[in-house]
Amino acid sequence: EPEVTQTPSHQVTQMGQEVILRCVPISNHLYFYWYRQILGQKVEFLVSFYNNEISEKSEIFDDQFSVERPDGSNFTLKIRSTKLEDSAMYFCASKRWTSGDGTDTQYFGPGTRLTVL
């Protein structure tokens, strides 16, 4: 069964450094998402991406964040200057389509644990 993959599984970085988290969505999917989950807390939406542009973003997704789909398979999340509070698990998700009645399923990757020191 096809699945979403993410690399690396764990990233440790110094505060102020740039990080790029990588995701390979399921190949025939059209919608892509990033979520984050601070340890022990709920999953929070960051951004959705469709047709090579951001379709929606949350208040968390400020100017320090950016997303890209550079080559038709990878979907990346960049954090320009990491802060301590960016430490969290980052999940990528993808979805095939949105049907008229709103039925859809998002498939989550295994996540990247980001630790900012």
**Can you give the binding site for another protein, defined by CB under 8 A?**
31, 33, 35, 41-45, 48, 50, 55-56, 58, 91, 101-111
- Closest to another protein by CB, 17 vs 115, is 115
Nearest CB to another protein, comparing residues 40 and 72:
40
Q: How far is the CB of 52 from another protein (least distance, A)?
A: 15
**Residue 64 or 108: which CB sits closer to another protein?**
108
Min dist CB 83 to another protein, Å, is 22
**Distance in Å, CB of 40 to another protein, minimum:** 9
Task: Identify which of residues 59 and 85 has a Cβ nearer to another protein in the complex.
Answer: 59
- How are beta strands 65-68 and 53-57 bridged, if at all? unpaired
Residue 60, burial from CB neighbour count under 10 angstroms (0-12, 13-18, 19+): middle
SS (H, E, C) 59-71: CCCCCCEEEECCC
Burial of 33 (0-12, 13-18, 19+ CB in 10 A): buried
